[in-house]
A and B are shown apart, each in its own frame.
Chain A
């Protein structure tokens, strides 16, 4: 993005963030970090990342555009800048991804004043880790097919059920939880809660192992779990609408309360670097015309995504206001997957070397990233579902359901 797109205040803030990141880049982690926050496995990784998020938060890089009353910094148009700078600086990612990009925006929009004051500050500082209890064994793409039940008992609700694929559930203090409160209405029978997890009676978290060999997501079982009505978000029966707010934020259609980090050299620079150092089938990959073409395809997509983000802010060049924002999740996840896949191809026989092999190119990043990339093409609504949404909401084609 060129700096002329920014106001004076934004430019000044950008410079501040750059300076701050140079001075405050954290020491190397005590143990290797995974590619994204949702594969954080150990307490060592967690503590290190939580300390880093807190530091970024105190410095104004997280919660930049959130109201001061809810622990934010009360600015406008600053978060985007901070996110970009954190990405560019190659600093670690922010661990509280569910808190920042899902819980906080949803609570901000649907919460009572009391709920906003109670829950949002912990999302921003990272002191309270959040997880998302949407998916169930029978409710994946068909998210409204919820079985986990919430039954009212005076001022409390009693929760029973089974959530699955719950990222960060093993470290979470809170969960954004969708439940069924009425069996007679599929969509209007859902209610949304903010539910305590760690140490809460009746809640059991069981880790699941991913295709990469890592943990990071979990099953969560609820057995007569009691929570106060004060933890209900928005009205009884409004759960679907609240969940849609969460999903829109999750899929990156808005700036969120903070994201970024975990970047560093651009994906394209990394691929070029790999091609220039990879001997494959006896020749240098960077000298293979087909590989060069493939890398340039990736470079074009990379620049295209950057320029899409810019064009989305020029209404005169957008036919439909949601046309570009709703592509975000689909295009970003396939971009990462295609890059990782190409990295594996470029590394040739060396791509067989995984994380612990001392001779693995880029410490085994490419096969790990390729395997891990399916997490993003599946999670947050599979890319098939994203294509349904785009076809229906943007192009206006008949609904598939």
Chain B
């Protein structure tokens, strides 16, 4: 990342970034039209919801995505990746959200960003693998659903320079599609980061039964998993995770913005076509005005999204504030348009077959992931108002 402190012009979104975004939009709209997404992930409800099978994904499409280099976008150039700016990645991820792409792409990008933030030889090696097509995911969340880096899900013990990991990492995104987990563990008063193969001895994945049809999620059980020096990414990783957190928030926010804009456009189209009382329903202000409100919210989230990406790219001190604002706005915008999209479609929107629920659920998942709007605002209040006071200042 660059070290300048002022954010670049136009959020750093120039021709290259637009080209990457437009390529993604074209490719995904051709290869994953709604019809295809629906047959892929929502053929029938029983397998996923009653039999507990994992939602399928298109491995051939994935091979094409890898061939296009998207998985290596967050790897540095030295590792064979493209070293694209976060603004550029953001544009691409908006398209991923717009098409509700089921894939390990976002978890892999997230893990890559963590590895880049950590730096060093071990991270570099894994990034090179990722640039070559390997997939990854983060195992950094505990059973309490804490997003604080210090609340690592695992306990590490140091046995002759090797680490031995115990514990359960929860809410691991697309774990069954990942080759490597980047896991955080507590070692004494430090947080360590390790890269663990999903096939490692002592590691087992237990699928969560989730409502979202476009991903899988798992609890990763670590029972005496041994990690050699070649897989220890960092022995002092709390600041690494804190530093990369804004970027992770930006990726989820981008997914939310893309999916929300798609829901808005889909609902607007429906409001133009569907006629009741001899008028397209969009004529009625109880339909029209909420759609305008949704647009306003989505626009706010999108502006904050690119603002956050630009601040992060510039290494600015405002990165965390900007990213938390973006995630709060994106989560709330997504909640609102998801709600109105189903309601304003009437009965058809409530059907399994129609497919709006695919977006509704993906958005619902992402609202909670990495903390919802309320959580982001709680953290923002600490930054902008200050901590809760124990001795109130009476002199003001």
Interface residues of A (CB under 8 A from B): 2-5, 268, 272-273, 275-277, 284, 286-287, 289, 292-293, 295-297, 299-301, 303-305, 307-308, 310-311, 313-314, 316-317, 319, 323-324, 327, 330-331, 384, 387-388, 390-392, 394-400
At the interface, yes or no: B380 with Cβ under 8 Å from chain A?
A: yes
Q: Smallest distance from the beta carbon of A310 to chain B beta carbons, Å?
A: 7
Q: Are B8 and A400 in contact (CB under 8 A)?
A: no
Report, as a range, how many residues of chain B touch the other chain: 35 or more
B10 is an interface residue with CB less than 8 A from chain A: yes
Residue from B282, B303, B385 within 8 A of A295 (CB atoms): B385
Bound together, the chains give a CA A243 to CA B393 distance in angstroms of 53
Q: Is the CB of B389 within 8 A of A390?
A: no
With A272-B384, A300-B304, A308-B300 as known contacts, state yes or no: A4 contacts B285, CB within 8 Å: no
Q: How far is the CA of A293 from the CA of B377 in the complex (A)?
A: 6
**Bound: A292/B384 CA distance, A:** 10
B9 contact from A4, A286, A296, A299, Cβ within 8 A: A4
Partner of A299 from the list B302, B306, B380, B392 (CB cut-off 8 Å) is B380
With contacts A300-B328, A301-B300 taken as known, whether A4 is within 8 angstroms of B13 at the C-beta atoms is: no
Q: Are B388 and A4 in contact (CB under 8 A)?
A: no
Q: Which of B70-78, B185-193, B217-225, B291-299 contacts A (4 or more CB under 8 A)?
A: B291-299
A272→B381 CA distance, assembly (Å)? 10
The answer to whether B122 has its CB under 8 Å from any CB of chain A is: no
Complex Cα gap A391–B340 (Å): 15
Tell me whether A317 and B304 are in contact (CB under 8 A): no
A304 touches which one: B285, B304, B385 (CB < 8 A)?
Answer: B304
Q: Tell me which residues across on chain A come within 8 A of B384, comparing CB atoms.
A: 268, 272, 295-296, 299
CB <8 Å contact, A390 and B292: yes
Question: Closest residue to A330 on the B side, CB-wise?
Answer: B296
Cβ of B7 within 8 Å of any chain A Cβ, yes or no, is yes
B292 with A317: CB separation less than 8 A: no
A384 is contacted by which of B17, B18, B285, B291 (Cβ under 8 Å)? B285
Judge whether B11 and A314 touch: CB under 8 Å: yes
Q: Is B352 an interface residue (CB 8 A)?
A: no
Tell me whether A297 and B377 are in contact (CB under 8 A). Answer: yes
Contact B268 A397 (CB under 8 A): yes
A384: chain B residues at CB < 8 Å are 285, 289
B374 at the interface (CB under 8 A from A): yes
* Interface pair B6/A3, CB less than 8 Å apart: yes
Report the separation of the CA atoms of residues A65 and B322 in the bound assembly, to the nearest whole angstrom: 33
Are A276 and B300 also in contact (CB < 8 A) when A295-B381, A300-B328 are?
Answer: no
Contact status A287-B392, CB under 8 Å: yes
Point out the residue from B7, B289, B302 that lies within 8 Å of A387, measured CB to CB: B289
With known contacts A284-B392, A397-B268, A303–B325 Cβ distance under 8 A: yes
For the complex, what is the distance from the CA of A286 to the CA of B390, rounded to whole Å? 11
Known A-B contacts A273-B396, A293-B377, A293-B378; the reply to A303 vs B291 at CB < 8 A is no
The answer to whether the Cβ of B233 comes within 8 Å of any Cβ in the partner chain is no
Contacts of B47 in A (CB 8 A): none
Chain A residue, CB-CB nearest to B22: A316
Write the chain A residue with the least CB distance to B287. A397
> How many angstroms between the C-alpha atoms of A327 and B293 in the bound complex?
10
Interface residue B272 (Cβ < 8 Å from any Cβ of A)? yes
Q: For A276, what are the chain B residues with a Cβ–Cβ distance below 8 Å? A: 385, 393, 396
Task: Identify which of B10, B293, B396 contacts A313 (C-beta below 8 A).
Answer: B10
Identity of the chain B residue whose Cβ is nearest the Cβ of A401 in the assembled complex: B283
B307 within 8 A of A: yes
Residue of B with least CB distance to A268: B384
Cα distance A319–B13 in the bound complex, in angstroms: 14
B295 / chain A contacts, CB cutoff of 8 Å? 323, 327, 390, 394-395
User: Measured between C-beta atoms, what is the minimum distance from A350 to chain B in Å?
Assistant: 13
- A400 and B285 within 8 A (CB): yes
Closest partner residue, chain B, to A304 (CB atom)? B300
Residue B52 at the chain A interface, CB threshold 8 Å: no
16 sample A-B contacts, Cβ–Cβ < 8 Å, listed by A number: A2-B6, A2-B7, A284-B389, A292-B381, A293-B381, A296-B385, A299-B325, A303-B322, A304-B300, A311-B303, A316-B13, A316-B18, A387-B293, A390-B292, A391-B282, A397-B268
Query: Which chain A positions have C-beta within 8 A of B18?
Result: 316
Contact A303:B307 (CB < 8 A) given known A276-B396, A314-B13, A395-B292? yes
* Neighbouring A residues of B26 by C-beta, 8 Å: none
Inter-chain contacts of A388 with B (CB < 8 A): 285, 288
Q: Which residues of B contact A3 (CB under 8 A)?
A: 6
- In order of increasing CB-CB distance, the 4 nearest A-B pairs are A397-B282, A304-B300, A307-B303, A296-B377
Complex Cα spacing A307 to B13, Å: 14
Chain A, residue nearest B94 (CB): A317
Which residues in chain B, 359-383, are within 8 Å of chain A measured between CB atoms? 374, 377-378, 380-381
B86 sits at the interface (CB 8 A):
no
When chains A and B are docked, how far (Å) is the Cα of A303 from the Cα of B383? 15
A317 with B13: CB separation less than 8 A = yes
Contacts of A304 in B (CB 8 A): 299-301, 303-304, 325, 329
Q: Bound complex: CA of A330 vs CA of B13, how far in Å?
A: 27
Residues of chain A within 8 A of B289, CB atoms compared: 384, 387, 391
Q: Which of A5, A295, A300, A323 contacts B325 (CB 8 A)?
A: A300
Q: Which residues of A contact B325 (CB under 8 A)?
A: 299-300, 303-304
B280 at the interface (CB under 8 A from A): yes
Q: A384-B289, A387-B293 are in contact. List 16 more A-B contacts (CB 8 A).
A: A4-B6, A273-B396, A289-B378, A292-B385, A301-B300, A310-B11, A311-B302, A311-B306, A317-B11, A323-B295, A327-B296, A387-B289, A391-B282, A391-B288, A391-B289, A395-B291
Q: Please determine whether A396 and B303 come into contact, CB atoms closer than 8 angstroms.
A: no
Partner of A308, one of B261, B303, B374: B303
Give the nearest-CB partner of A274 in chain B.
B396
In the assembled complex, B271 has its CB within 8 A of some CB on chain A: yes
> Does B279 touch A at the CB level, under 8 Å?
yes
CB–CB B392/A311 < 8 A: no
How many whole Å from A5's CB to the nearest CB in chain B? 5
Chain B contacts for A331, CB-based, 8 A: 296
CB distance from B285 to the nearest CB of A (A): 6
Residues on the B chain within 8 Å of A314, using CB: 10-11, 13, 306
CB–CB B296/A286 < 8 A:
no
Inside 8 A of B8's CB, which chain A residues have their CB? 4
CA–CA, A390 and B296, complex, Å: 10
Q: Which residue of B lies closest to A288 (CB)?
A: B388
Interface residues of B in 221-273 (CB under 8 A from A): 261, 268, 271-272
Bound Cα distance from A260 to B203, whole angstroms: 62
Inter-chain CA distance A174–B107, complex, in Å, is 63
Complex CA–CA separation, A313 to B303 (angstroms): 11
CA distance A303 to B7 in the complex (A): 15
Q: Give the distance in Å from the alpha carbon of A303 to the alpha carbon of B381 in the complex.
A: 14
